[in-house]
């Protein structure tokens, strides 16, 4: 397969990240943690290969949550911070699912970002 025909490869397992709903990179982009100018340069990772991030997703459709390494679990965090992080990351994951199911509504990658972060990189 030509390199241009291949999607992003996970930096952890080396396999292709085939959908947006599997992408830790795009989740972080949607929640305003990745500058759009560096998106294409940033390393990709499956959500299942990033348990520290994945533990904050509270959505029944996310069924492959990996075990969190000892000492990095949400139970070790400030409760308010953990609740806010769960809310944000879950909304980010839900946005990825929305984008994946309705690409016409999100014609440009800049529209992927949650509303409250859309002006962050201007």
Structure confidence by residue, pLDDT tens digits, 18-35: 999 999 999 999 999 999
Average pLDDT of 49-67? 88
User: What is the rounded distance in angstroms from the CA atom of residue 61 to the CA atom of residue 8?
Assistant: 22
Range of the domain at 38: 7-117
Whether residue 122 is predicted with pLDDT greater than 90 in this model: the reply is no
Asked if residue 21 belongs to a domain, the reply is yes
Asked if residue 102 belongs to a domain, the reply is yes
Average pLDDT of 53-81? 87
pTM for this entry: 0.88
Asked if residue 2 belongs to a domain, the reply is no
Helix residue ranges per DSSP H, 50-104: 51-54, 79-101
Q: Position of tokens 């909304």?
A: 91
Residue 100 pLDDT: 92
Asked if residue 95 belongs to a domain, the reply is yes
Q: How many CA atoms lie within 13 A of 46 on its CB side?
A: 15
* The total number of structural domains that make up the chain: 1
Asked if residue 98 belongs to a domain, the reply is yes
Predicted confidence band at 3 (pLDDT cuts at 50, 70, 90)? very low
Asked if residue 35 belongs to a domain, the reply is yes
């Amino acid at each position: 397969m030509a390199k241009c025909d291949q999607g992003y490869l996970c930096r952890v397992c080396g396999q292709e990240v085939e959908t947006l709903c599997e992408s830790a990179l795009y989740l972080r982009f949607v929640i305003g943690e990745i500058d759009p100018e560096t998106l294409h340069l940033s390393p990709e990772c499956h959500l299942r290969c990033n348990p520290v991030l994945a533990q904050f997703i509270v959505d029944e459709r996310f069924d492959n949550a990996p075990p969190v390494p000892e000492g990095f679990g949400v139970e070790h965090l400030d409760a308010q911070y953990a609740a806010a992080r769960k809310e944000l990351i879950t909304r980010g994951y839900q946005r990825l699912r929305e984008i994946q199911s309705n690409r016409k509504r999100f014609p440009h990658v800049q529209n992927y970002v949650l509303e409250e972060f859309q002006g962050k990189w201007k």
